[in-house]
Amino acid sequence: MAGRVVAGLLLGAVSAGLELILLAFAALLLAYSLAFSRGRRTVPAAVADGAEFATELERRRLRAFLGEDLAVRYGPLRALAYLVLRVPVGLLGGVILLLVAYGAAVAVRLAVGWWITGDHLDGIPPHWWIVLYTAVAGVVLLFLAVQGLVGVAALERAVARRCLGPSPLVEYERRIAQLSVTRAQVVDAVDDERRRIERDLHDGVQQRLVALGMLIGRARRAGDHGAGGHERAAELLRQAHEEAQRALADLREVTWRVYPAALDGEGLHAALETVAERSAVPVTIDYDVPGRPPHAVETAAYFVVCEAVTNAAKHSGAVTVRVGVKGSGTMIGVRIEDDGAGGADPGGGGLAGLARRVAALDGTFAVHSPAGGPTVIIAELPCG
């Protein structure tokens, strides 16, 4: 990483020298244009093309070496303004790199002269206190040079963001649009969840309660037909009791899927262990999160894991599922991987709902599921 940044600053210093020549040529063309354009305030085509070309090269350098990706549109005036501001920064980086190279050459010369050939360089004998003084001074100067390079890299990024990045108004508008979309997505996710709950209750619990009522009614009628009827009623009551147990189990399943009580009490780790226990396929959990994340983050992480494990058990034919939850004070990362057949559709109802839930917290959600597997689901949830 450090070597890439140094290489980027070195290229920036070279390009700054070339851009200085370009700016001098542009200044002459602009002066000529203003003098003979008869009041028209236009940027000559050669200046505009050169500025935009140089700016595009700088944008690629920033992305490749300094990790600053600015995929925005800019005109010739913004490109010229950027070059005017970044040329001094690039030249400053070049000066610091030259000083570092000079210092390294001096250090090598001293080392060779004092410890290898035994020469007294410039009449200075290699006494221990002179060597110590020189070493301390060299380390301090190297530290200052490194800090200077770090500052130049930060200035490169800041100038690029200021000149080429979106304006604060555009950024605010983008953020407002994003919040509007995520709010609508949250409403859709809530509606989808309500429909799923209604479907589970209708197809599961309600049907069992109807069957339970019918069994109890038949038992009551059978009890009015003598001894044989009593035996038949007892058998029907036994069946009704079993049906009541199944209805209660279905109701517990629905309430557990709606919201697990363990999240409020014991926290996310305990809730995920419950998911592993109830899963039809073996689930291993690697949990490494210091303290307890915010409640909304815990809830989102839980539902991501729960839905992914359920999908793996129902649709992928997986044999094992691995769940990793790692985090710090600012970010929680959730990763679920199964060894199933793959081919999961990120736009499907369940996964799309998870993406909306994560986006509502300004998190990121990704699904990698090539044909043949494995399926990997990754969610990043900010805690701040």
Task: Please identify, among 240, 258, 276, the residue that sits at the C-terminal boundary of a domain.
Answer: 258
Is there a domain that residue 172 lies in?
no
At residue 384, the pLDDT reads 63
- Most confident of the following: 66-70, 110-114, 180-184, 243-247: 66-70
Task: Please identify, among 104, 132, 165, the residue that sits at the C-terminal boundary of a domain.
Answer: 165
At residue 126, the pLDDT reads 66
Ordered DSSP codes for 79-130: HHHHHHHHHHHHHHHHHHHHHHHHHHHHHHHHHIIIIIS---BTTB---HHH
Task: Please identify, among 206, 228, 258, the residue that sits at the C-terminal boundary of a domain.
Answer: 258
Amino acid at 36: F
Are 202 and 239 contained in the same domain? yes
Is there a domain that residue 58 lies in?
yes
At residue 252, the pLDDT reads 64
* % of the chain exceeding 90 in pLDDT: 5
Residue with tokens 């997505």: 185
Is there a domain that residue 143 lies in?
yes
At residue 309, the pLDDT reads 86
Is there a domain that residue 345 lies in?
yes
Are 134 and 192 contained in the same domain? no
At residue 165, the pLDDT reads 74
Confidence band, pLDDT 50/70/90 cuts, at residue 92: very high
Decide which of 251 and 60 is more confident. Answer: 60
Q: Is the pLDDT of residue 213 over 70?
A: yes
Are 354 and 247 contained in the same domain? no
Are 123 and 74 contained in the same domain? yes
Q: Is the pLDDT of residue 164 over 70?
A: yes
How many domains would you assign to the chain?
Answer: 3
Q: Is the pLDDT of residue 254 over 80?
A: no
Are 84 and 159 contained in the same domain? yes
Average pLDDT, the chain: 78
Are 27 and 106 contained in the same domain? yes
At residue 259, the pLDDT reads 64
Are 45 and 147 contained in the same domain? yes
Are 9 and 131 contained in the same domain? yes
Is there a domain that residue 225 lies in?
yes
Is there a domain that residue 328 lies in?
yes
Is there a domain that residue 224 lies in?
yes
Decide which of 77 and 36 is more confident. Answer: 77
- Side-chain half-sphere of 161: how many Cα atoms within 13 Å? 11
At residue 65, the pLDDT reads 84
- Domain membership of residue 83 as a residue range: 2-165
Decide which of 36 and 134 is more confident. Answer: 134
Are 268 and 254 contained in the same domain? no
Are 294 and 233 contained in the same domain? no
Are 34 and 56 contained in the same domain? yes
The answer to whether residues 256 and 243 touch, using CB atoms and an 8 Å cutoff, is no
Are 214 and 154 contained in the same domain? no
Distance in angstroms (rounded) separating the CA atoms of residues 48 and 39:
19
